[in-house]
Amino acid sequence: MIINIFSNFIHSNLYTFLAAGIYIALSVGTSIHILLHKYDVKSSIGWIALVFLSPFLGTVLYIFLGINRVKRKGARLRNSDIAFEEYSFEIIENIAENFPINYKKFIAFGHKVYPQNFILGNSVKPLQNGVEAYPEMIKTIKNADKEILISSYIFDCDSETDKFLEAVETAIKNGAAVKILVDGIGTLKFFHRSIEKKLSKIKGLEYDIFLPPQIPIAMPFVNLRNHRKIMIIDGKTAFFGGMNLSKNNVLIDDLKKGILDITFKIEGPVIDQISEIFENDWEFATGKKFQSLSKDLPFIKTGGIPARIIPDGPDNKRGIIELIVHGAINTALKKILITTPYFLPESNILTALEMAAMRGVDVEMIIPDKSDHRFINWASEPNFLYLIESGVKIYRIPPPFDHSKIFIVDDEWIFLGSANWDVRSFKLHFESNIEIFSKSLAKELSGIVEAKKQKAKLTTAFECKNLPFLKRIRNNAYRLLTPYG
């Protein structure tokens, strides 16, 4: 009798025991993977808690969203490692001859973070908004007769980008080989990329999609986007920065749809470093080896600016751009000037800015008053009070949405490119920035930022403290959703 009762109990609860065993095995196995592959402590704790507190669902979410499966096939096709120049004291002395010792040490630090030397002899010209940038881009493309390389996170299908495609067709007729790489999510509109139809109709054009979503197979790559904006013409001229290709960039007076932005026309030997980024991305997307024209061009100086390119992405164990940003903040002696469309960094960057302001550095930050994603505003605001109380000045620009990205330290060191000041750029996206030393360019860019600041409103501690209770709850709740991989 007792045996029968026990047997029935075991039989009736067999599936429960089996499910519990599978749950424990999966949870422990997933936790081991998290411990071995997640560098960030908060990320590890968050994922482990989700795995154990959400049976099966937590493991599934981690498998699809938490594991970084991106492998740089492009880098493997070329070499196992990129052959960087060795640390050169001579180059540093050429750049920083009259610099204080802390800046010479910062250059050495930057080389440790990303071992690529500065290249002398470049020119960098800022171009504001699509109104100024697009005509110069299109003209340069039309005059190309050898090679055009274009990589863009957003490549909209509209009347403005039609002008680019017409210029590309002209260049192809002139004999130029053209390659265009667009991101699989950035150009996605209602689950299809309409720009592909137009690209496919251009004879002689090569194009590809970076990590195209094939739900659910590509779900892990939703965050791992190619956020870079690169255009290289005939290996001699590059347009580099954070400006996408969209009609919205010329609607600078449209308060709802318009986007303000800045990009940079670059000439000089540093273009070879920019080309390497495109080469690796192209090889990653297509699986085919490719070497750009810039490799065969003579070393020609076009200006006096020393510069180097800093690429970054989720395939790196630690965020290269974030480390450079952190180091620059800690190196600042007099002034830090930041313009960014999104400001959602982790606590290490926030603390560094607070400490810089507290030690007497003039820290100014210019951000949009209204983001193109409302929740970005909500998630950013909880960080403002501590920054302001530490002495950081936060200016908020009214619409249209300002997508500009500029970072200047002590009126000489400049960091420009595609990266925003948020966790997505620092950890989850493929980005590229350029590091520059130039007092004249810093002065010109500071003037551009000053003009933006004149239209902006200074955020006060009083405003932050007197935000309605429900809005404070909402903002802090959205801050918890900030992705940190």
H or E stretch covering 169: helix 159-173
| Highest CATH level, class, for 75-93+120-307 | alpha beta
Position 34 scores a pLDDT of: 78
Task: Answer yes or no: are the C-beta atoms of 265 and 168 closer than 8 Å.
Answer: no
Position 66 scores a pLDDT of: 67
Position 442 scores a pLDDT of: 97
Tokens representing residue 186 in the block? 């950035």
3-state secondary structure of 181: strand
Give the residue extent of every domain in the chain: 2-66, 75-93+120-307, 320-480
DSSP string, 204-257: TEEEEEES---TTTTGGGSS--B--EEEEETTTEEEEES--B-GGGG-TT-TTT
Q: Alpha carbon of 64 to those of 45, 93, 217, 218, 463: distances in Å?
A: 18, 48, 9, 9, 40
Task: Answer yes or no: are the C-beta atoms of 194 and 165 closer than 8 Å.
Answer: no
Residue with tokens 């025991």: 17
H or E stretch covering 96: helix 89-96
What superfamily in CATH does domain 320-480 come from? Endonuclease Chain A (3.30.870.10)
Residues whose CB falls within 8 Å of the CB of residue 68, separated by 6 or more in sequence, listed in order: 37, 220, 224, 314, 315, 485
| Start-to-end CA span in the chain (Å) | 56
Q: Is the peptide bond before 314 cis (omega within 30 degrees of 0)?
A: no
**Do 75-93+120-307 and 320-480 show the same overall fold?**
yes
Mean pLDDT by 10 residues, the chain (485 residues): 55 68 82 76 76 76 66 46 52 68 89 93 97 98 97 95 98 97 79 80 95 62 85 97 97 96 97 96 93 85 93 88 98 97 95 98 97 88 95 97 97 97 92 96 98 96 92 84 54
pTM of the model: 0.87
The three-point CA angle 321-318-223 to 5° equals 80
Using CA atoms, how far apart are residues 43 and 112, in angstroms rounded to an integer? 25
Task: Answer yes or no: are the C-beta atoms of 248 and 258 closer than 8 Å.
Answer: yes
> Residue 165: what residue type?
L
